[in-house]
A and B are shown apart, each in its own frame.
Chain A
């Protein structure tokens, strides 16, 4: 069965450092991989989408890599700030066809940025 693992339940870093979160998957070949941010009691907020034929995607202080051979995605937040503290979810997107986009989520990594 499909399995998604995010590297740790919690990650604590100092403000200004780069946070690196890992998402590994098995028994799956997603067309896309997405990263979301979730704050307590709120819905997931989309951050970045990377396609299977893309190696890297950037948006401001965020960077995502996607290695379909290793079945792994890395999510980086550079120059981290306390406001970046949240749970970050990776989600596998099959894009079976445009009507079938059931996202499969990982359990998330809770990032805490210390001032």
Chain B
């Protein structure tokens, strides 16, 4: 069964450093998403991406964040200058067309020291 994959599974970085989280969505999907989950808290929407542009973003997704689909398979989330409060699990999700559900990847645990 097709699945969303994410790398790395765990990323440790120093505050102020840039990180790039990578995702490979399900191959025939057209809509891509990033969510995050701070330990013990809810899963929160960050951004959705369709047709090579952001279609929606939350208040969390400020100028420090960016997304890109550099080729036909990868979808990345970049955090330019990480803060301690960026420590969380980051989930990538993808969906097909129409009223389709979103399929989530296993997540990347980001730890900012």
For A32, A99, A100, the residue with the greatest tally of chain B CB atoms inside 10 Å of its CB is A99
Sorting the interface of chain A by its residue count into under 10, 10 to 19, 20 to 34 or 35 or more gives 20 to 34
Complex alpha-carbon distance, A84 and B105, angstroms: 20
Complex contacts, A115 vs chain B, CB 8 Å: none
Contact between A103 and B45, CB atoms less than 8 A apart = yes
For B44, B89, B95, B99, the residue with the greatest tally of chain A CB atoms inside 10 Å of its CB is B99
Q: How many residues of B contact A (CB 8 A)?
A: 29
Contact between B42 and A51, CB atoms less than 8 A apart = no
Contact between B44 and A43, CB atoms less than 8 A apart = no
Contact between B45 and A104, CB atoms less than 8 A apart = yes
Complex interface: stretch among B12-20, B48-56, B65-73, B76-84? B48-56
Complex alpha-carbon distance, A46 and B48, angstroms: 18
- How close is A12's CB to chain B, nearest CB, in angstroms? 19
Complex alpha-carbon distance, A33 and B51, angstroms: 25
Residue A34 at the B interface, CB < 8 A?
yes
Complex contacts, A99 vs chain B, CB 8 Å: 31, 48, 50-51, 55-56
Complex contacts, B103 vs chain A, CB 8 Å: 46
* Interface set, chain A 26-45, CB cutoff 8 A to B: 31-32, 34, 36, 38, 41-45
Per-residue 0/1 for A99-112: is the Cβ within 8 Å of any B Cβ (1 yes, 0 no)? Answer: 11111111110000
Complex contacts, A74 vs chain B, CB 8 Å: none
Residue A86 at the B interface, CB < 8 A?
no
Contact between B106 and A100, CB atoms less than 8 A apart = no
Contact between A107 and B42, CB atoms less than 8 A apart = yes
Residue B75 at the A interface, CB < 8 A?
no
Contact between A44 and B91, CB atoms less than 8 A apart = yes
**With A32-B99, A99-B31, A101-B31 in contact, is A42–B107 under 8 Å at CB?**
yes
Contact between B48 and A34, CB atoms less than 8 A apart = no
Per-residue 0/1 for A39-63: is the Cβ within 8 Å of any B Cβ (1 yes, 0 no)? Answer: 0011111100101000000000000
Contact between A45 and B104, CB atoms less than 8 A apart = yes
Q: Could you tell me which A residues sit within 8 Å of B by CB distance?
A: 31-32, 34, 36, 38, 41-46, 49, 51, 89, 91, 95-96, 98-108
Given contacts A32-B99, A98-B31, 4 further A-B contacts (CB under 8 A): A98-B97, A101-B102, A102-B58, A106-B42
